Every structure is written in structure tokens, then in C-alpha cells.
Amino acid sequence: MEIPFVLDRIASAGAAGLALERSPELEQDIGLCRAWGYPVEVDGGRARIARNEDLLVPSWLESEGRSVAWKGLRVRGFLELGSTNDEALARVRDGAPEGTLIYALRQTAGKGRMGRKWESPAGAGLYFTLVLRPQQPLGAWPVLTHAASVALHRALHDLKAHRLVARDLAPELKWPNDVLLSGRKVAGILLETAVKGGIAEAAVLGIGLNVSPDSVPPGLSDLATAVECEARAGVPRRWLLNRILAHFHFGYRIFEAGRFGDVIEQWKACSTMWDGVDITVNDGERTVEAVTCGLTGLGALRIRNGSGGEATLLAGDVRIRRR
């Protein structure tokens, strides 16, 4: 269900507020916005919403995102969706341009890789997907996951640099698509390709980031964490999303310039697990023990097994073995 349009109208009216022509539909829409956490005030026949850095209002995100980076940003906000990636794929089929951003306050069927689930409770995290129409060859598109990981890493660093939190969160990247805080997963990335007539026409880049403690799946507290758990402070979601978009835009320009190796070097600078680390790797079929020995120029993981044989992994699940 899309966020009622009246929220954007109220948000755009600023402190003066929006003069209301009262109707049952309008009352219902304002009630819905409030129920989903938007503190709309109605006073003297005018509706207002106080601006802060946390609220995910489509028009605010669109104007802020356009001013920092994505000139063509088009934001569609949903209270609830199955999956923002699925919505983005559907919109690609209808011709959605690059820079279309879909976000939801809650996902009921958030997707991980290989048919897994991404738990996405209401208002607790950031769940969003960006439509991209890369000009680079399809074989290089996986590098977009690395660019997104770097963007998340930098945005999390910014929290301390901009004094929004007192603690350095020390984010760490784990191949291929995880962002960790204190060794636990705080964000995941799902890159999917939209194919039309056998030709890849767009990439949809989905990101799930746990922000408040409620976003950590109850059964996964050993493996997962949230930004606010690590920061021990409240963290404004829209500010964070804007930082992620700005950093990703920077990385995407490097990608579109064909400088894939530069993106991979940036990724390596944010991770300690890509060289000389004992891992267990599952490639979907079997699990083996190995040692990491670098990344290829397109971000595939090089590994060496116990008998000295080397292999290159394009996808898979990696666990770090502590000696």
C-alpha cells in the first residue's frame, strides 16, 4: 500500500501547514499516516508535520537526494509491500527510469539470496531498492553489490564523523553481500537483473539495513544486530538513507566509467577477510574449508583449499573460522 499522497502535500506545506478540505477519505488517510508513525498534527483546519531527519517522507527524500547526488531520483514510498525488489522489477517492466527508488516501512516477503527471507518489521529498518540501467557489460554488474557495500560502510562511518553517534561503529564487509557491526550482520544486499527478450535491461539493487533493535530477527540475535544496538543511541533513518544514496552515487559513477578495479579496491579497504583468512564456504551444493587469497578484478573471491588447489567463487555463503 503506497503512502497516502496527502502526506507529501502536508510535508511540502512546511510550518504554515496545509489547509484541509475535510472529507472522510482525508481523515482516513491522515489516520493511516499517524498509525504508521507519521506525527501529523491538525490544528485550526490546517495539517502540519514537523521535519526531522528520521521520517521517511517521499518528497523530502526526493528533494534531498536530488540535491546531494541523484538528479533523476524518483521516490515511491510504501507503508507495506511484499518486497521492494519485486515492486522495482514490476516497475522496470513498465519502463521505470534509472534513479527510481522504492522503499517500504515494512516488507511481508522481504527476500534474501537463494530464496531466503529478509525479516523486515515495521518502522525498524531501511528496506529499499534502486533501479539502475547500467551501460557496462552484464558480466560486471555484480560489482554493483560491492559498490553498495562500500556505500553502506561509508554511511555508517559518517554517523560518528557527523557526531550523530558518540561511538565509532567500525563496520566491516564480508563477501559477498554482508555488512557487519561487531561481527554480526546489520545489512544485506540483493542485486537482481531484469531481463526482457533475453537481454538484461536493468538492475534492481535492494538493501535491507537494521536500524532499531526491533529489526533484529528474534531467532538470529547471535548473528544479526542493528545500528542502534551498536551505537547505543537513536539513529535518524532518512539521514542514513541519504548518506547511502550519496555514497552509492559516487561509486556508481566509478562503475559506469568502467573502473571496476577501483570499486573492488575500495571494498578491500573496508574488509579484513579477503586475504589469508580461514573460512568455510558453501557454494549451494557443498561446504568446504578454505583460506581466502584475494579478489578478482570483478570481485569474485579466490580461495585455496587444504591440498593447495585454488578456486574462484562467483557466489556462495562464507563463514569465518576463528583459529
Report, in Å, the least distance between residue 153 CB and ligand BT5: 15
Closest to ligand BT5 by CB, 84 vs 100, is 84
Least distance from C-beta 87 to ligand BT5, angstroms?
A: 8
Cβ proximity to ligand BT5, 26 vs 320, nearer residue: 320
* Number of CB atoms found within 10 A of residue 76's CB: 20
- Residue 162 has, within 13 A of its CA and on its CB side, a CA count of 12
Interacting positions 160-219 with ligand BT5 (CB under 6 A): 177, 185, 188-190, 206-208, 210, 215, 217
Q: Which is nearer to ligand BT5, 83 or 292 (CB)?
A: 83
Rounded CA-CA distance 124/214 in Å is 6
If the CB atoms of residues 151 and 189 are measured against ligand BT5, the closer one turns out to be 189
Q: Total number of residues binding ligand BT5 (CB under 6 A)? A: 29
145 contributes a contact to ligand BT5 by CB under 6 A: no
Q: How far is the CB of 220 from ligand BT5 (least distance, A)?
A: 5
CA distances to 114, 121, 231 from 317, rounded to whole Å, are 10, 24, 27
237-256 and 260-269 are packed helices; what angle lies between their axes, rounded to 10 degrees?
140
CA distance 140 to 118: 25
Instruction: Decide whether 6 or 79 has the Cβ nearer to ligand BT5.
Output: 79
Q: Which positions from 36 to 75 touch ligand BT5 by CB under 6 A, shown as an x/- string?
A: ----------------------------------------
Measured from each CB, the residue nearest to ligand BT5 is 188
Of the ranges 93-101, 111-119, 147-155, 277-285, which one interacts with ligand BT5 (CB under 6 A)? 111-119
Q: Does 149 help bind ligand BT5 (rule: CB under 6 A)?
A: no
Q: Which residue has the cell 536493468?
A: 202
- 3-class DSSP state of 95: coil
Take residue 63 and report the three cell numbers written for it: 528533494
112 binds ligand BT5 (CB under 6 A): yes
Q: Exposed, middle or buried by CB within 10 Å (0-12, 13-18, 19+), for 145?
A: buried
57/229 with CB nearer ligand BT5: 229
Q: Hey, what's the cell of 314?
A: 562467483
Cell of 190: 540483493
Contacting residues for 23 by C-beta, under 8 A, at least 6 apart = none
> How many angstroms from the chain centroid is the CA of residue 302?
26
Q: How, if at all, do strands 46-48 and 287-295 pair? A: unpaired
Q: For the window 213-252, what string marks contact with ligand BT5 as x by the rule CB under 6 A?
A: --x-x--x---x----------------------------
| Interface residue list for ligand BT5 (CB under 6 A) | 83-85, 107, 110-114, 116-119, 127-129, 177, 185, 188-190, 206-208, 210, 215, 217, 220, 224
